[in-house]
Amino acid sequence: MTSEPPPARVQATDAPGQPEPTPRLKELYRTFEQHSLIPLWTEIGGLMPPQPAPAAVPHLWRWAELLPAAEESGELVPVGRGGERRALALANPGLAGRPFATATLWAAIQYLNPGENAPVHRHSQHAFRFVVEGEGVWTVVDGDPVAMRRGDFLPQAGWHWHGHHNRTDTPMAWIDGLDIPFQHHIDATFFEFGPDDVQTRATPEHSASERLWAHPGLRPLTRLRPTPATPLLAYRWEYTDRALAEQLALEAEGHAVTLEPGHAAVRYTNPTTGADVMPTLRCEFHRLVPGTRTAVRHEVGSSVFQVFDGRGEVGVGEATWTVERGDLFVVPSWQPLTLAAETGLDLFRFSDAPLFERLHLHRSHQEGHDS
């Protein structure tokens, strides 16, 4: 963990509305410092900008660089109790060397060698795994083994025991998303170690969670209370893929079901409420048909995207990148975003939107529209 030394104070005496820097004022400012006081009038510009001015910057991490770094970690760094996970966090260059993709979101590539075991723990942070390629790892959540395969989305609500183990003879890498930066900032974090080994080495095709919950519109009568997070531990690729394909087919038949022409999208939801899978994280999958370019959109709150398949061009703020399978990029708060598909383009997205919505702080704006 990085420590945070006192920043250099910038007393913006030339900012608008500032008093004359007389000796008596300087003396007063020393009194403030002595009494742990800071005036609003020198700080307001940075604290209360006209619109979000995130420190996080738009940034792209290429899979072609990420994966080799993870692979080399696989050779040099053991996985075990203490370090807990062999994960490399995307560190936003605007965030002062902290391992945070944005001010609220953590995104990392995790890597597990054949036969390895990531020890059991639980934490208040909400988490998920998304698999861009490979298979062979099972995550055991509260004793329920959940297979991980390309395209699967595997939510993991806070405070459930979980460990991973690789049952194959090839390594596997995937993406972890969490709300670590958010919970760290607001001081909400609890963490507890569990056993060093997972509770079961069973490798079923489907977890008990799926067998209980993955039936559209059907709820077990023994599970009728709404839960803050989804009880479904795996959202399989076959369903996501089919839902997106159907949206585009319905669009072709004349139904107004896509976000915009050629742009299908689904949100992963909690079947007990219909709301987001977890209270702090929104997760979605987007599919653009070749040639589609999305409208330019600003949203309060930040997102991380991973390209699942295809090739396209992405614009975030001032940046523009050509992206391919596995590439990850961040969209800081209120930065304009547009996506363009060269081939068909499949994208996984996660964001901190639920916290804004639950606190009534959400806003959005589509260029050329009122929000």
Over the window 127 to 156, marking each residue x when it contacts a second copy by CB under 8 A and - when it does not, the resulting string is ------------------------------
In whole angstroms, how close is the CB of 169 to a second copy at the nearest point? 23
Task: Specify the stretch interacting with a second copy by CB under 8 A; choose among 164-172, 214-222, 306-314, 316-324.
Answer: 214-222
Strands of the sheet with 144-149, listed across from one edge: 144-149, 135-141, 162-166, 117-123, 191-193
Site for a second copy in 308-367 (CB under 8 A): 332-334, 352, 354-356, 358-361, 363
- Of 35 and 169, the one with the shorter C-beta distance to a second copy is 35
Collapse the DSSP code of 66 into the 3-class scheme (helix H, G, I; strand E, B; otherwise coil) and give the result: helix
Q: Which stretch of DSSP H or E encloses residue 356?
A: helix 353-358
Site for a second copy in 215-274 (CB under 8 A): 215-224, 226, 228-230, 232, 235, 239-240, 242-243, 246-247, 249-250, 253, 255-259, 265-274
In whole angstroms, how close is the CB of 135 to a second copy at the nearest point? 20
- Residue 38's contacts (CB-CB under 8 Å, 6 or more residues apart) are 32
Beta bridge partners of 162: 121, 141
From 97, 115, 195, 261, residue interacting with a second copy (rule: CB under 8 A): 97
Tokens of 62: 């290429």
From 13, 114, 115, 191, residue interacting with a second copy (rule: CB under 8 A): 191
Give backbone dihedrals phi and psi of 250, rounded to 5 degrees, phi first: -65, -40
Collapse the DSSP code of 329 into the 3-class scheme (helix H, G, I; strand E, B; otherwise coil) and give the result: strand
- Of 111 and 169, the one with the shorter C-beta distance to a second copy is 111
In whole angstroms, how close is the CB of 156 to a second copy at the nearest point? 14
From 117, 156, 166, 183, residue interacting with a second copy (rule: CB under 8 A): 183
| Whether 61 contacts 90, CB under 8 Å | yes
Give backbone dihedrals phi and psi of 251, rounded to 5 degrees, phi first: -60, -45
CA 221-226-231 angle, to 5 degrees, is 80
